[in-house]
Amino acid sequence: MNDQAADLSATRLVALDWGTSSLRAYRLGDGGRVLELRHRPWGIMHLPPAPAGEDAGTDAAFERALQDACGDWLAAAPQLPLLACGMVGSAQGWREARYLHTPTSLDALAQGLTRVDRPGGQPLHIVPGLLQPGDLPNVMRGEETQVLGVLADLPAEDPGPWLVGLPGSHSKWVVAQRSGIEGFHTFMTGEVFAALRGHTILGRTMAPADAQSGTAPDDAAFVRGLQVACGSDAGLGLLSHIFSTRTLGLTGVLPASAQADYLSGLLIGHEVAALARVHPPGGSAAPVQPLLCGEPDLCRRYALALRLQGFAEPAIAAQATPTGLWQIARAAGLPAGEAPQPSSAESLAA
Amino acid sequence: MNDQAADLSATRLVALDWGTSSLRAYRLGDGGRVLELRHRPWGIMHLPPAPAGEDAGTDAAFERALQDACGDWLAAAPQLPLLACGMVGSAQGWREARYLHTPTSLDALAQGLTRVDRPGGQPLHIVPGLLQPGDLPNVMRGEETQVLGVLADLPAEDPGPWLVGLPGSHSKWVVAQRSGIEGFHTFMTGEVFAALRGHTILGRTMAPADAQSGTAPDDAAFVRGLQVACGSDAGLGLLSHIFSTRTLGLTGVLPASAQADYLSGLLIGHEVAALARVHPPGGSAAPVQPLLCGEPDLCRRYALALRLQGFAEPAIAAQATPTGLWQIARAAGLPAGEAPQPSSAESLAA
């Protein structure tokens, strides 16, 4: 108990990365150092059910999830500020947070927080999402915070601009400068892969996912897929290329165990080929530097794809959400009991 | 009974269009005229179950489906020849029929039939599938027969070449001449649409399919999708474009009832844009003539897409499988009791 009390006195912020499928609660100390992390399955679509006789409403469900993740922190140090990012600010979240339009800055995000009052406790603040208007509008919730965290960790002498890739179910590619986020693209690569594997004929001849989980990814099959996406048959496009997953199996070229990796290569290859069309590597006056942030094996695969398209070797950044939440909290003046420091906006400015 | 006996005496061929989800049995008379059609749900993946005590094997299950569809024809006229095309010749079918390599001709298909002996009856003949070897191999089973049927119905003075589109779950685009089938492409457009609608976030905001079934397709939303696929943002590619189905909904531009049609436009737009890249309309010395064969509303939509890509106005062909089966049967000398005629190979030759 003494240890815990000592730890809590060093806490400056409770930072929450609250997405669709999970909740990560960080206890952050001076300078945004992670003192403790707790991971709960309480994504906004999977909140803990109400015990019999308790309030079954939305506010109560979110509060239950929060209490389960870090109720002891909040009880022992009731003055701790709370800041959350991600789908918790969507229409299906705790409270709908506004979208800021791109381009935007750290200060604009910090000034745009949405406040959720909690009876008997500190309010929860939610980071705005980003909206890029246009014929093909684009939205994000949570990734803007991750990108600010990535930028904060870059050496101050590096001027950018960067092309920050956040691969996953909906991959984001964010054009960022020291001054903030310029714009971004979304590619549904991960979710399309899962839908093709799980719900089309392509999955029927693939080795089951669990049988593969213990085996190493088949990089040769993956690279074969990458090469098709940018090779002499590139013109046929994705809807045609994916059928070759089946026919290369039928003709004995790709064994069942290699077909998922080949399909992954086709999809990631098409994503990065599109990226190269809209941000030609080496083609502009101020070439963008690619930078990857995400699950390590996925980043490794995207690095192969970027290299094949002529991009500079991408730097791989650590998971950056708590750092981003810290940057925003500081710019908003949230952290508790911290010694005065230069504003994070100044430290991020080029 | 007199009527039926009279009808059966005019029968020359039992022609079967036997796919994954259904079986169509045609009774064909002189010149391949359709005398009778029966439609059964006995696709090769959904054969009738064995009654208690009966043979549960594969041969017996296919024979049961055949007897249910046309056992009375075969009993009344046991000498009738049988010819089938489609997935009945796949590894999961009644008997695996060979693949012929492209390019190929009507006579080669007729000489490559696979024979399935049926105890106490005429054998069933199965049309070969087509295989196009290469880095992106391509296969078809059934569409080759449809294309031969389409060609047989074209005016003899039209020299071709044609680009025959068979839109559907796996769209095929077949380059065909009088002399036969040169090559083809497959696009998984229909199956990808179903997987995206049914198993990704894009489907969640769409109006349910049944609520739409009574309403007219939203052509404006469909054309908007087509235009994105070939517009100034075309470089972003399909994996990015499809996300706009969601964000145009979020921003109030596309109502729930229009999102499925927009997504359909994106996908068909990408398919036809790819087709225009590999077969540039007006770009070659002998421009190909597009020709569509399939479900009428789908053909109408593909015609819009072809027009937008600068192709000539496509002719719409009738469903042509029984005609194709008749052409192949004649070239193989199968039809019963027909007066001698010039071979169909001659009649098809330019």
The answer to whether the peptide bond before residue B155 is cis (omega within 30 degrees of 0) is: no
Ordered DSSP codes for B211-277 = HHHTSPP-HHHHHHHHHHHHSTTGGG-HHHHTTHHHHHHHTTSS-HHHHHHHHHHHHHHHHHHHHHH
Report whether pLDDT(B284) > 80: no
Q: Hey, are the CB atoms on B235 and A138 less than 8 Å from each other?
A: no
Q: Hey, are the CB atoms on B270 and A238 less than 8 Å from each other?
A: yes
Distance CA B283, CA B38 (A): 44
B297 touches chain A (CB under 8 A): no
pLDDT band at B132 (very low <50, low <70, confident <90, very high): very high
Q: Do domains B12-159+319-332 and B188-316 have the same CATH topology?
A: yes
Count how many residues are written for chain A: 350
Q: What does the pLDDT look like over A269-290, one tens digit per residue?
A: 999 999 999 999 876 556 679 9
Q: What does the pLDDT look like over A112-139, one tens digit per residue?
A: 999 999 998 999 999 999 999 999 999 9
The answer to whether the peptide bond before residue A161 is cis (omega within 30 degrees of 0) is: yes
A242: nearest CA in chain B? B188
Distance CA A73, CA A68 (A): 10
> What pLDDT is recorded for position B87?
97
Tokens of B118: 């049926």
For an interface test with A, which of B188, B200, B233 has the most A Cβ atoms less than 10 Å from its Cβ?
B188
pLDDT band at A348 (very low <50, low <70, confident <90, very high): very low
> What pLDDT is recorded for position B345?
44
Q: Hey, are the CB atoms on A200 and B189 less than 8 Å from each other?
A: no
> What pLDDT is recorded for position B1?
45
Report whether pLDDT(B342) > 60: no
Q: Hey, are the CB atoms on A192 and B239 less than 8 Å from each other?
A: yes
Q: For chain A, give every domain's residue range.
A: 12-159+319-332, 188-316
Distance CA B237, CA A189 (A): 11
Tokens of A38: 């707790």
Identify which of A138, A200, A253 has the shortest CB distance to residue B191. A200
Tokens of A58: 């939305």
| ipTM > 0.90 (yes/no) | yes
Average pLDDT value for residue range A45-52: 92
pLDDT band at B160 (very low <50, low <70, confident <90, very high): confident
φ/ψ of A237, rounded to 5, equals 80, 170
Report whether pLDDT(A309) > 50: yes
Q: Are B244 and A188 in contact (CB under 8 A)?
A: no
φ/ψ of B346, rounded to 5, equals -65, -45
Distance CA B216, CA B23 (A): 29
B230 touches chain A (CB under 8 A): no
CA distance B205 to chain A (A): 13
B172 touches chain A (CB under 8 A): no
Report whether pLDDT(A28) > 90: yes
pLDDT band at A5 (very low <50, low <70, confident <90, very high): low
The residue among B266, B86, B45, B43 whose CA lies nearest residue B172 is: B86
- Give me the sign of the Cα torsion angle A337, A341, A342, A345: negative
From A158-162, A256-260, B193-197, the region with the lowest mean pLDDT: A158-162
> What pLDDT is recorded for position A2?
47
Region of residue A337 (phi > 0: left; psi between -120 and 50: alpha; otherwise: beta)? left
Q: What does the pLDDT look like over B60-96, one tens digit per residue?
A: 999 999 999 999 999 999 999 999 999 999 999 999 9
**In 3-state terms, what secondary structure has residue A182?**
strand
Q: Hey, are the CB atoms on A186 and B233 less than 8 Å from each other?
A: no
A138 touches chain B (CB under 8 A): yes
Q: What does the pLDDT look like over B215-247, one tens digit per residue?
A: 778 999 999 999 999 999 999 999 999 999 999
Report whether pLDDT(B348) > 50: no
Average pLDDT value for residue range B125-150: 97
Percent of chain B topping pLDDT 70: 91
Report whether pLDDT(A54) > 80: yes
**Paired strand residues for A85:** A17
**In 3-state terms, what secondary structure has residue A74?**
helix
**In 3-state terms, what secondary structure has residue A140?**
strand
> What pLDDT is recorded for position B315?
93
Report whether pLDDT(B258) > 80: yes
> What pLDDT is recorded for position B349?
38
B252: nearest CA in chain A? A137
B240 touches chain A (CB under 8 A): yes
Please provide the CATH number assigned to the domain covering A12-159+319-332: 3.30.420.300
pLDDT band at A345 (very low <50, low <70, confident <90, very high): very low
Report whether pLDDT(B159) > 60: yes
Average pLDDT value for residue range B254-277: 97
pLDDT band at B2 (very low <50, low <70, confident <90, very high): very low
pLDDT band at B340 (very low <50, low <70, confident <90, very high): low
Report whether pLDDT(B168) > 50: yes
Q: What does the pLDDT look like over B92-115, one tens digit per residue?
A: 999 999 999 999 999 999 999 999
Percent of chain A topping pLDDT 90: 83
B16 touches chain A (CB under 8 A): no
> What pLDDT is recorded for position A187?
98
Average pLDDT value for residue range A201-220: 80
Q: Hey, are the CB atoms on B250 and A136 less than 8 Å from each other?
A: no
> Average pLDDT of chain B?
91
Q: Does the domain at residues B188-316 carry the CATH identifier 3.30.420.310? A: yes
